[in-house]
Amino acid sequence: MRIPVQSGELACQSIGSGQPIIFIHGFPITGLMWLHAARHLPPGFRGIVPDLPNHGASTTRSPIDIRDFADDMLTVLDVFAPGEQGIFIGLSMGGIICFDLWRRYPGRIRALVLCNTRANAEPPEGIAYRRAIADSAMRDGVAPIVEAMLPKVFAPGFDQARLAFWRTAMLSTTPTGLAATSLALASRADSFPTVPTITCPTLVIAGDQDAITSPDSLHDIHQRIPGSRFTVIPDAGHVPPVEQPVAFSAALNEFLTKLPA
Closest separation in Å from C-beta 95 to ligand MLT: 8
Nearer to ligand MLT among residue 52 and residue 111 (C-beta): 52
Query: What whole-number distance in Å separates Cα of residue 211 and Cα of residue 238?
Result: 7
Nearer to ligand MLT among residue 135 and residue 254 (C-beta): 135
Nearer to ligand MLT among residue 27 and residue 255 (C-beta): 27
Closest separation in Å from C-beta 66 to ligand MLT: 11
Helix (H, G, I), strand (E, B) or coil at 204: strand
Query: What whole-number distance in Å separates Cα of residue 14 and Cα of residue 23?
Result: 10
Closest separation in Å from C-beta 36 to ligand MLT: 17
> What's at 207, amino acid-wise?
G
Closest separation in Å from C-beta 134 to ligand MLT: 12
Query: What whole-number distance in Å separates Cα of residue 125 and Cα of residue 3?
Result: 36
Angstrom distances, CA of residue 68 to CA of 19, 79, 82, 165, 176: 24, 17, 19, 29, 16
Closest separation in Å from C-beta 23 to ligand MLT: 13
Nearer to ligand MLT among residue 144 and residue 226 (C-beta): 144
The H helix count followed by the E strand count for the chain is: 10, 8
Task: List residues binding ligand MLT (CB under 6 A).
Answer: 26-27, 92-93, 185, 212, 238
Nearer to ligand MLT among residue 19 and residue 209 (C-beta): 209
